[in-house]
Amino acid sequence: SPSICRLFAKPAGEIPLKRHPLTRTTTAEDSARQRSDPSSALARKIEAQK
């Protein structure tokens, strides 16, 4: 529902979880999971910055 989407909306610049948008994980946990996932856009972005 739209209210749920707003409730879990991420601030601009943050990458929302693709698989489980409603999980209550911290940004740090999300980032670590995305870094460990080679298919994630964040992982590609970090690799490109090295």
Q: Is the pTM of this model over 0.85?
A: no
Half-sphere exposure of 48 (CA within 13 A, CB side): 6
| E runs forming strands in 2-47 | none
Q: Say what the pLDDT of residue 48 is.
A: 76
Q: Are 37 and 43 in contact (CB under 8 A)?
A: yes
What pLDDT score does 24 carry?
57
pLDDT of 1 reads 46
| pLDDT tens by residue, the chain, 50 residues | 455 555 555 555 555 555 555 555 556 666 676 666 656 666 667 667 76
The predicted pLDDT at position 43 comes to 60
